[in-house]
């Protein structure tokens, strides 16, 4: 089913839309995450500084620090705080940091004056904002504020962003798939029309009426122009073939009549008559193909015992051909056209194949097989083509016999197929089962 085909255009466009949605969400999510994190750090630092300033005033007034504030010596300070305080005091070169593994150091705001702050993070459970200020020689007030609330809020924001993106994808992907359906419908219509043209319906057109001027419309217009040009060329070819055949017929009849006056025992006269018979057969084939191309042929159906008909036709060809029947049926068909097809297939098998040639009637199906080199790959792929025998090893000929047989089978509504037998040899099968041509 095309709708469930993962390689269908709708799902490729939906995947592209999903990728674009994820890319935008990732950029926006990163910006929001970074801005929220920076804001949380500023809020934590401001809260720590507020507590530190209040503790410093209390210490200056009473000489004692509040109960929730530590008083430490320089050696007891965390290294990042000691380094920042030393830098502010101008005590010399900054010492190398010796933070604990996994800790994240965040410098305090540049306008904190004599106050130092440090964000100490060691996920998943250690998030603290430190603050320190000097109140006497080797005496520092130290504040430690828990940042877990800000971290949890940031994590909750991240999860909300992910959930929002997933929810958006559940909406965007089906919407993108549905939005491409008009394009898919137009492309499928174009593909069906192209197949009809390939199957011989040269009047088929995609059409562009009422559609936007986009790339699909341009493609449809180009295919229609190609079909029109192809139809014109084929019509010219058919007309030329018919005209040539009709023009040749009159002088050819005169030549045949004249050849009949030549001595019967003359070798040269016999050669002339043989070549005239071949030329006459060619002209008759061309005229028949012209009628088939013009669609002027109509089948006259009658009930026919297929086994008896085929046996009689093969006998009248005068060739060494084996005939077998297996449950042959009485078929509603045009016996004259069936005879024409069988004669052409048998003649082609003897001319281009090798003995033994076998004709088998099974039910409503006629199979003609030879034991020669088989049909060439070009004929198996594209079907019979006029004036082309396909391969030099299949002998010489004008290539019209199989073309006529194919055209007559289409008039009958039958199905004529060409294959090669596994053991070697060409196999032509005419299936006269009703509606066989649609199989």
pLDDT in tens, 164-216: 989 988 888 888 888 888 888 888 888 899 888 887 788 888 887 665 677 88
**Angstrom distance (rounded) from CA 204 to CA 224:** 8
**Angstrom distance (rounded) from CA 390 to CA 386:** 10
Q: Determine the pLDDT at residue 142.
A: 93
**Angstrom distance (rounded) from CA 409 to CA 428:** 12
Q: Determine the pLDDT at residue 258.
A: 79
202 or 331, which is more confident? 331
pLDDT exceeds cutoff 60 at 395: no
341 or 239, which is more confident? 341
Joined together, the tokens standing for residue 19 give 């990728």
User: Which residues in 46-105 belong to E strands, given as ranges?
Assistant: 70-72
255 or 170, which is more confident? 170
Q: Determine the pLDDT at residue 254.
A: 79
- pLDDT confidence tier of residue 89, bands split at 50, 70 and 90: low
Phi, psi angles (nearest 5°) of residue 329: -105, 165
Beta-carbon contacts of residue 238 (< 8 Å; ≥ 6 apart) = 290, 293, 294
pLDDT exceeds cutoff 90 at 394: no
Q: Determine the pLDDT at residue 210.
A: 60
Q: Coil, strand, or helix at residue 275?
A: helix
Distances (CA, A) of 340 to 313, 379, 412: 9, 20, 12
Q: Determine the pLDDT at residue 310.
A: 93
Q: For the chain, what is the mean pLDDT?
A: 82
Joined together, the tokens standing for residue 410 give 């289409």
- pLDDT confidence tier of residue 42, bands split at 50, 70 and 90: very high
Q: Coil, strand, or helix at residue 257?
A: helix
Joined together, the tokens standing for residue 117 give 């702050």
Q: Determine the pLDDT at residue 315.
A: 92
Q: Determine the pLDDT at residue 31.
A: 94
Phi, psi angles (nearest 5°) of residue 66: -55, 165
In 3D space, the residue among 250, 239, 214 whose CA is nearest the CA of residue 291 turns out to be 239
Average pLDDT over residues 4-31: 84
Helices 181-198 and 148-179: crossing angle in degrees, nearest 10, is 30
Phi-psi region of 327 (alpha: psi -120 to 50; beta: other; left: phi over 0): left
- pLDDT confidence tier of residue 433, bands split at 50, 70 and 90: confident
pLDDT exceeds cutoff 90 at 283: no
Cβ(349)–Cβ(368) below 8 Å:
yes
Q: Determine the pLDDT at residue 386.
A: 62
Number of H helices, E strands in the chain: 10, 11
Q: Determine the pLDDT at residue 297.
A: 72
Q: Which of 127-131, 218-222, 431-435 has the highest mean pLDDT?
A: 127-131
The DSSP letter of residue 425 is: S
End-to-end C-alpha distance for the chain, whole angstroms: 20
Phi, psi angles (nearest 5°) of residue 4: -95, 0
**Angstrom distance (rounded) from CA 1 to CA 140:** 76
pLDDT exceeds cutoff 60 at 93: no
pLDDT exceeds cutoff 80 at 340: yes
391 or 255, which is more confident? 255
- The pTM (predicted TM-score) of the whole model is 0.52
The DSSP letter of residue 393 is: G
Which residue pairs, CB below 8 angstroms and at least 24 apart, start in 227-231?
Answer: 227/197, 227/202, 230/197, 230/202, 231/202, 231/203
**Angstrom distance (rounded) from CA 267 to CA 273:** 10
Which residue pairs, CB below 8 angstroms and at least 24 apart, start in 410-416?
Answer: 410/292, 410/437, 411/292, 411/297, 411/298, 411/299, 411/334, 411/337, 412/299, 412/333, 412/334, 412/337, 412/338, 413/299, 413/437, 414/333, 415/439, 416/341
Joined together, the tokens standing for residue 439 give 């199989």
**Angstrom distance (rounded) from CA 114 to CA 134:** 8
């Amino acid at each position: 089913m095309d709708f469930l085909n993962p390689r269908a255009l709708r799902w490729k466009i939906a995947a592209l839309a999903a990728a674009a949605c994820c890319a935008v969400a990732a950029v926006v999510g990163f910006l929001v995450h970074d801005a929220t994190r920076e804001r949380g750090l500023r809020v934590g630092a401001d809260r720590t500084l507020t507590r530190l300033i209040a503790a410093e005033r209390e210490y200056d007034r009473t000489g004692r620090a509040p109960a929730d504030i530590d008083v430490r010596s320089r050696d007891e300070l965390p290294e990042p705080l000691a380094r920042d305080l030393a830098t502010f005091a101008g005590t010399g070169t900054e010492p190398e940091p010796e933070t604990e593994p996994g800790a994240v150091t965040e410098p305090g705001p540049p306008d904190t004056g004599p106050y130092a702050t440090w964000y100490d993070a060691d996920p998943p459970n250690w998030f603290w904002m430190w603050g320190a200020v000097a109140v006497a020689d080797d005496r520092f007030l130290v504040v430690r504020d828990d940042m877990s609330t800000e971290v949890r809020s940031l994590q909750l924001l991240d999860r909300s962003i992910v959930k929002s993106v997933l929810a958006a994808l559940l909406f965007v992907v089906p919407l993108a798939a549905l939005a491409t359906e008009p394009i898919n419908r137009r492309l499928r219509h174009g593909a069906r029309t192209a197949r009809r043209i390939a199957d011989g319906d040269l009047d088929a057109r995609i059409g562009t009426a009422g559609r936007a001027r986009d790339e699909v419309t341009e493609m449809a217009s180009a295919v229609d122009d190609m079909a029109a040009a192809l139809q014109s060329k084929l019509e010219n070819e058919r007309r030329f073939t018919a005209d040539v055949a009709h023009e040749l017929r009159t002088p050819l009849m005169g030549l045949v009549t004249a050849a009949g006056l030549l001595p019967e025992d003359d070798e040269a006269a016999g050669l002339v008559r043989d070549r005239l018979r071949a030329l006459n057969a060619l002209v008759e084939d061309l005229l028949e193909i012209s009628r088939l191309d013009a669609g002027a042929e109509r089948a006259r159906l009658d009930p026919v015992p297929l086994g008896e008909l085929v046996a009689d036709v093969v006998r009248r060809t005068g060739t060494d051909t084996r005939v077998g029947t297996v449950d042959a049926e009485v078929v509603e068909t045009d016996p004259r056209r069936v005879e024409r097809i069988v004669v052409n297939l048998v003649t082609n098998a003897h001319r281009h194949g090798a003995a033994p040639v076998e004709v088998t009637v099974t039910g409503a199906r006629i199979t003609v097989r030879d034991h020669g080199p088989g049909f060439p790959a070009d004929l198996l792929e594209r079907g019979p083509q006029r004036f082309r025998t396909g391969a030099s090893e299949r002998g010489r000929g004008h290539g019209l016999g199989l073309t006529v047989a194919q055209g007559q089978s289409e008039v009958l509504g039958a199905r004529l197929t060409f294959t090669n037998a596994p053991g070697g040899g060409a196999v032509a099968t005419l299936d006269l089962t009703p509606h066989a041509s649609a199989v």
